[in-house]
Amino acid sequence: MESKILAKLGIDPAFIFLFMLILIVVLFVLYVNVSLKYDRLKNSYASFMRGKDGKNLEESILTKFSELDGIAKIIKQNRADVKEMYRRTEHCIQKCGIVKYDAFNEMGGKLSFALALLDSDNTGWIMNAMHSREGCYTYVKEILKGESYVELSEEEAEALDRAIYSEDI
């Protein structure tokens, strides 16, 4: 069977047959792929809608949105509370340094101590308790931004350095 049109164009009918056969195979593969995707989508939809009609689904979605609004309000309040706590704790004691020593070299056990208590700006106090046979003498010196306006003893200066350069409590 010869075709005058194909003969004028110079096309062999076998090439057309092969082209059509390849096209059918490609279309069949695409059809199988689409069918599998459709089945997966249908199963997902069926499991999503199981036991619910449109009204119940809408109520469920609205309930979830109202829960999300409540959570957003709680988060906003928590952020405000954290900022307030941070503001309050800025000037609380956050650093400390202690040095134990023997004040008068007459008693063993290093019963005397210098204790530095500072906030985040290195402002606070140094307490020095000197223990002797006659009694215990306690002194407090004010620290502003890591500096004292009163001369510090060696132990007090060491306690201050330990507090300033130590990790936060």
Q: How many Cβ atoms are within 10 Å of 55's Cβ, its own excluded?
A: 8
The two structure tokens encoding residue 113: 């101590």
User: Mind listing the pLDDT tens digit for each residue in 81-99?
Assistant: 999 998 888 888 888 999 8
Give the pLDDT of residue 93. Answer: 86
User: Mind listing the pLDDT tens digit for each residue in 148-167?
Assistant: 888 888 888 989 999 988 76
Integer CA distances (angstroms), 91 to 106, 117, 121, 159, in order: 39, 11, 8, 19
The two structure tokens encoding residue 168: 């936060």
End-to-end CA distance of the chain: 98
CA angle 89-147-103, nearest 5°? 100
When pLDDT is averaged across residues 119-129 and rounded to a whole number, the result is 89
